[in-house]
Amino acid sequence: MSRIDNLIEELEQTAARLRAGELTSDEAAEAVERCAQLATELGSELDIHARAASAGEPPGQEKLL
């Protein structure tokens, strides 16, 4: 399993715990902070992969969406 997959899985599990509504206020605050941290890490990983994927393109030549 890749790092991205691991981050997604942990983010989904943490979000599910929050949605369940069974956490104390302190636990919920920690879970929210963890979700934010995971989202940041996931964004960084996706950025790294996107840059690596576009590294083979000639300068000034972007792919059309």
24-58 pLDDT tens trace: 999 999 999 999 999 999 999 999 888 887 776 66
Residue 63 resides in a domain? no
pTM here is: 0.74
Residue 56 resides in a domain? no
Burial (CB < 10 A; 0-12, 13-18, 19+), residue 38, is buried
Which residue range(s) make up the domain with 10? Answer: 3-50
C-alpha triplet 15, 47, 44: angle, nearest 5°: 50
Residue 28 resides in a domain? yes
Q: Are the CB atoms for 38 and 11 separated by under 8 Å?
A: yes
Residue 57 resides in a domain? no
Residue 16 resides in a domain? yes
Residue 20 resides in a domain? yes
| Number of domains making up the chain | 1
Secondary structure of residue 55 in the 3-state scheme: coil
Residue 27 resides in a domain? yes
What pLDDT score was predicted for residue 30? 96
Residue 30 resides in a domain? yes
Q: Which of 5, 7, 14 is nearest to 35 (CA)?
A: 14
Residue 60: CB atoms within 10 Å: 5
